[in-house]
Amino acid sequence: METHIFKSPPVKIGFSDASMVSRATKSDQTLVNVKGVEIGGPEVVIFAGPCAVESQEQLYETARSVKADGAKILRGGAFKPRTSPYKFQGLGEEGLKLLGLISMKTGLPVVTEVMDTRQVEKVSEFADILQIGSRNMHNYPLLKEAGLLRKPILLKRGMMATIEEFLLAAEYILNQGNEQVILCERGIRTFETSTRNTLDLSAVPMLKHLSHLPVIVDPSHGTGLRWMVPAMAKAAVAAGADGLIIEVHYKPEEALCDGQQSLTLFEFGQLVKDLRKVARAVDREIS
Ligand code: PEP
Ligand code: MN
């Protein structure tokens, strides 16, 4: 006879009030603390940095500038999930080391993507938050491995995932004992082609209604267009997002990945000033 070992709460088909991610199970908002930076509290936390780590100069110049403007977490991919195998795949381990170095120099905690269970140990050595990207939201072995860690996980919504599938992916992580999960809306595939993705901002109030986990928004991958990032970032804060993750590059025209959607250092600084006003209007803050 085939036996199945289920963790509690018992497995149900679909998301339900009994799920660990559900607000019905835990009414208190989950606060994810990353080296003193609290995600899910009154502050709207800004994550910023390049799409990919390219060099020490690129990462340092970008990091110190976004920090001065108000970013609290540095982003940067070392292992990049690229649509084409012929495009820049990231610096790999060298990229992780640069993240560690620049994190130490600036004091900014770092988030970086892990794409494979075999990378989890190495990436955990350098990352303060491990990112599971859109393409891997359905990678159940990776979700389970992330659940065994005692480090925060930034889980991005699959580009074709429903809210229910997204929450059940998060459930895989909580179910293994790791409750430090941050959800990220990053745009979904629709019939629309004028933007890279359709940023589903209705996901923000819906996720916050259904779950106690913090919710952040990625307006960079959500639109794919630099000029549109500020409008959608402001809209995300107005919709109740607990944070934003924004691609910023010190020389976007030379970026090896996603330059067309990356803000310049100047544009990022201007945007944070506007975001502070929006945050205040919805009783939040950006320090
Ligand atoms: C990223 O944030 O680096 C990324 C690849 O995003 P996504 O997984 O949302 O496409
Ligand atoms: Mn990118």
The H-assigned helical ranges of 132-258 are 140-148, 163-175, 203-210, 219-223, 229-238
| Separation CA 286–CA 278 (nearest Å) | 10
Alpha carbon nearest to ligand 1 atom 4, residue = 133
Percent of the chain at pLDDT exceeding 90: 94
Average pLDDT, stretch 20-42?
Answer: 97
User: 32-281 adopts what CATH topology?
Assistant: TIM Barrel (3.20.20)
pLDDT > 50? residue 6: no
pLDDT of residue 1: 45
Q: What are phi and psi of 50, to 5 degrees?
A: -70, 160
- Looking at the DSSP bridge assignments, the partners of residue 45 are 243
From residue 107, how far is each of 37, 43, 155, 248, 279 by CA, in Å?
A: 11, 19, 23, 18, 24
Which atom of ligand 1 has the smallest separation from the CA of 157?
9
| Ligand 1 neighbours by CB, cut-off 6 Å | 51, 77, 81, 113, 133-135, 156, 186, 218, 221
Best residue among 80, 113, 153 to mutate for probing ligand 1's pocket (most ligand atoms within 8 Å of CB) is 113
pLDDT of residue 16: 83
Residue 13's pLDDT band (cuts 50, 70, 90): low
Best residue among 82, 221, 249 to mutate for probing ligand 1's pocket (most ligand atoms within 8 Å of CB) is 221
CA–centroid distance, residue 16 to ligand 1 (Å):
28
Count CA atoms closer than 13 A to 121's CA, side-chain side. 1
Residue 121 tokens read as: 């140990």
Which atom of ligand 1 has the smallest separation from the CA of 218?
9
Best residue among 134, 197, 223 to mutate for probing ligand 1's pocket (most ligand atoms within 8 Å of CB) is 134
pLDDT of residue 194: 98
> How does pLDDT run across 156-214, given as a tens digit for each residue?
999 999 999 999 999 999 999 999 999 999 999 999 999 999 999 999 999 999 999 99
- Ion ligand 2 residue ranges (Cβ < 5 Å): 51, 258
> How does pLDDT run across 207-256, given as a tens digit for each residue?
999 999 999 999 999 999 999 999 999 999 999 999 999 999 999 999 99
Residue 15's pLDDT band (cuts 50, 70, 90): confident
> How does pLDDT run across 104-158, given as a tens digit for each residue?
999 999 999 999 999 999 999 999 999 999 999 999 999 999 999 999 999 999 9
What's the maximum distance between 2 C-alpha atoms anywhere in the chain? 64
Q: pTM of whole model > 0.85?
A: yes
Alpha carbon nearest to ligand 1 atom 6, residue = 133
The type of residue at 137 is: M
Residue 10's pLDDT band (cuts 50, 70, 90): very low
Residues counted in the chain: 287
